Chains A and B, each alone.
Chain A
Amino acid sequence: MALQDKYKELTDAATAAGVTDLQVREQDNVLYIDGTAPSGAVKDQLWAIYDKIDPNFVSGDLVLNVNVDIAATVTKVKVVTQSSNLNIRKGPGTDQPIVGKAAHHEIITLVSQSSEQWWLVRTDDGEEGYSYARYLEPVTE
């Protein structure tokens, strides 16, 4: 219960921001918060609160797993790497061969979200494969 109190501001904010499927569970001195955020901004807001309660996330007593709900209508994603090209791989894993590259800030087609981490994408040149979802941002038309 102590951990739920410690991170109460975070769970309250999640509820207020409309996070769905919210689950807050404590097990072996770790608090697990799972849910689906309505937007990337809400996810960032929750992480900012986490950083405020536990600066630099050093306590190791929270696993915050809030994913962003991507609408089924989203078909285009923007490459949001820091500056480099994004690898497109044959399969979902960095051990998979690179079959193509997408440029920084290029807008490519989202074929499917095969997992939370790896999305199947296609470039305008027809290169198709898996890219790491962290570097892809949904484009709303």
Chain B
Amino acid sequence: MKVTRVLAVMMVALTLGFVSCKPKDADIKTAVEQAVAALPDATGATIEVKDGVATISGIFKDETAKAAAEAAAKAVKGVKSVINNGTIEAPVVAAPVVIAADDPLTKSVADATKDFPTVKAEVKDGVVTLTGEITKPNLIKLMQSVNALKPKKVDNQLTVK
């Protein structure tokens, strides 16, 4: 009888021991999540914790942000080690500006200036140079047209009358 009682107590103690282990990982997970979420560039990170080992995954802006998340996780009490599976997002490269070649540009500039006989236009290496004179309302119309033709630059030397 005594032996079984002792065994029963041991069983209960063991069960409690296992149960108390589980919320610990969950608590650590919450703490790590909070620590990482406080970083400015770690919005997409997810955290898993198993037996005190924290695994970080998600996309980071750069290596610094990834390392910062790892450091923040390591600093959390109860974290034994950190596996950092975070990846770095591909840098956004702006598409280069498209500049029209001189031949089509000369033709389209001629179309755009045709109705303004007091305006002269010259195209060289993508730069459209406008000379002569124009009224203010027509200047806006002409500039709107010329700016849409993919010039490198519009050198407006027009006299506004």
* A→B interface (CB under 8 Å): 23, 25, 27-28, 30, 32, 43, 47, 51, 56-58, 60-61, 63-65, 67, 93-95, 116-118, 132, 134
Contacts and interface: CB of A to CB of B under 8 A. Distances in A.
Interface in B88-128: 94-97, 107-108, 110-112, 114
B61 to A, nearest CB: 20
A116 B148 contact: yes
Q: B-side binding surface: helix, strand, loop or mixed?
A: mixed
Q: A-side binding surface: helix, strand, loop or mixed?
A: mixed
B110 A94 contact: yes
A63 B141 contact: no
Given A25-B94, A27-B97, A117-B108, A57 B154 contact: yes
Contact of A63 (B110, B111, B154): B154
A32 B108 CA distance: 19
A83 B24 CA distance: 82
B156 A57 contact: yes
Contacts of A25: 94, 96-97
B160 interface: yes
Interface string B6-48: 0000000000000000000000000000000000000000000
B30 to A, nearest CB: 37
A125 B112 CA distance: 27
A40 to B, nearest CB: 10
Contact of A117 (B97, B112, B140, B152): B112
B74 to A, nearest CB: 37
Interface size range on B against A: 20 to 34
B144 interface: yes
Contacts of A30: 152-153
B139 A56 contact: yes
A65 B147 contact: yes
Contact of B160 (A56, A93, A118): A56
Given A47-B144, A93-B107, A117-B111, 13 more contacts: A30-B152, A30-B153, A32-B97, A43-B144, A57-B156, A58-B156, A60-B156, A64-B147, A65-B147, A93-B111, A94-B111, A118-B111, A134-B144
Given A47-B144, A117-B108, A27 B96 contact: yes
Nearest to B111: A94
8 contacts: A27-B97, A28-B152, A56-B139, A57-B154, A60-B156, A65-B147, A93-B107, A93-B111
Interface in B56-110: 94-97, 107-108, 110
Contacts of A64: 147
Contacts of A27: 96-97
A37 to B, nearest CB: 11
The 4 closest A-B pairs by CB, nearest first: A32-B97, A94-B111, A94-B114, A60-B155
Contacts of A58: 156-157
